[in-house]
């Protein structure tokens, strides 16, 4: 049971990081839209967090697959497919020369990702708390049986 607690703890920090990356990317796009930042700075700020987000997403999907959490694999499969598809088509980075033309589309994609990561965050928090409580209860039962002998 301890390995499962570690899995959900790792998932918690990973999803929190991915959520932070997407929020930061949305803030950069909003700043660009409101003309608080120039296109080059916005594109470079966004692009340096795209691959880490993809790596976190793919690693989580692979980790859930390896540990046999099939529901989590099914939840992560569409986003993983979308990220792999973007990467293979080389459309994962924001182009500084086209950023104003695709600003609305990029914001929409990142808002969908934000919704996905918020859903994942709540699922992971639930599973983390559930696993911790079950681990504590099972740990208390084992200790009480030893004392009764």
pLDDT tens sequence across 91-106? 888 888 888 888 889 9
> Is 146 part of any domain?
no
pLDDT value for 141: 59
> Is 72 part of any domain?
yes
Domain interval for residue 6: 2-141
Handedness of CA 119, 15, 51, 32 (dihedral sign): positive
The mean pLDDT value of the chain amounts to: 89
> Is 17 part of any domain?
yes
> Is 148 part of any domain?
no
> Is 149 part of any domain?
no
Provide the domain count of the chain.
1
User: What is the arithmetic mean of pLDDT over 120-132?
Assistant: 95
Position 119 pLDDT exceeds 80 = yes
Position 142 pLDDT exceeds 80 = no
21-53 pLDDT, tens per residue? 999 999 999 998 888 888 899 899 999 999 999
Cα distance between residue 69 and residue 63, in whole Å: 9
Percent of the chain with pLDDT over 90: 68
């Amino acid at each position: 049971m301890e390995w499962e607690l570690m899995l959900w703890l790792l998932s918690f920090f990973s999803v929190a990081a991915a959520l932070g990356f997407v929020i930061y990317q949305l803030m950069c796009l909003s700043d660009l839209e409101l003309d608080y930042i120039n296109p080059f700075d916005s594109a470079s700020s966004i692009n340096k967090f795209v691959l880490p987000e993809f790596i976190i997403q793919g690693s989580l999907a692979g980790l859930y697959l390896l540990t046999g959490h099939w529901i989590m694999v099914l939840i992560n499969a569409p986003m993983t497919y979308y990220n792999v598809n973007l990467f293979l088509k080389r459309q994962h980075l924001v182009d500084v020369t086209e950023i104003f033309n695709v600003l609305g589309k990029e914001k929409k994609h990142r808002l969908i990702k934000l919704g996905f990561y918020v859903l994942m965050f709540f699922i992971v928090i639930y599973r983390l708390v559930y696993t911790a409580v079950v681990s504590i209860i099972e740990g208390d039962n084992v200790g009480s049986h030893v004392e009764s002998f």
